[in-house]
Amino acid sequence: MTKRTYSISELSEEFGITPRTLRYYEDEALIAPKREGQARIYSTSDRARLIWILRGKRVGFSITDIREVLNMHYGEGGKEEQCRVTITACKNRIKNLEQQKKDIDETLEELSSLVDTMTIFMAENYPADNSL
């Protein structure tokens, strides 16, 4: 069993965030580490949640979005209506993410062609290329 635990500074250093950020996430009910006295003790599953949070952020989710998704995972699979709502919410997010992928692809193409154009321009006008 992975009974490893982490202090706030271990975790914040590992992921390149500040302790403040971790406390903020706790305020926002995204993580709920155990306490040893006052100090926060993070478990491996807290760490897993954190990974989700940070990836969520990178894809543009807000704190509220992330909380929603995290709650889906653990949320009461009980009530039928609640289930339906969750499924619908997921599907919406999926649609958004797929649109986002298209947007990214378009942006990537434009940026690439911009790089190409400029590279050619450079080659013509400043041939002393050290080709980085």
Partner DNA sequence: GTTGACCTTTACGTAAAGGTCAACTATGAA
Partner DNA sequence: TTCATAGTTGACCTTTACGTAAAGGTCAAC
Q: Which does 71 bind (CB under 5 to 8 A by kind): its own copies, DNA, none?
A: none
Tell me, residue by residue from 51 to 90, as one string, x for binding to its own copies by CB under 8 A and - for no binding.
Answer: -x--xx-xxx--------x--xx---x--x--xx-xx--x
CB of 66 to DNA, least distance (A): 8
SS3 39: strand
Q: Which of 5, 52, 63, 96 binds DNA (CB under 7 A)?
A: 63
d(CA 86, CA 124): 57
The stretch near its own copies (CB under 8 A) out of 1-9, 10-18, 33-41, 122-130 is 122-130
Q: Which of 7, 89, 93, 96 binds DNA (CB under 7 A)?
A: 7
Task: For 50-114, give the DSSP string.
Answer: HHHHHHHHHTT--HHHHHHHHHHHHS-S--HHHHHHHHHHHHHHHHHHHHHHHHHHHHHHHHHHH
Sheet holding 39-43, edge to edge: 5-6, 39-43, 34-36
In the bound state with its own copies, the residue whose beta carbon lies nearer, of 39 and 111, is: 111
SS3 16: coil
With binding defined as CB under 8 A, does residue 122 bind its own copies? yes
SS3 21: helix
CB of 37 to DNA, least distance (A): 6
CB 42 within 8 A of CB 53: no
Binding site for DNA (CB under 7 A): 7-10, 17-21, 23-24, 28, 37-40, 57, 62-64
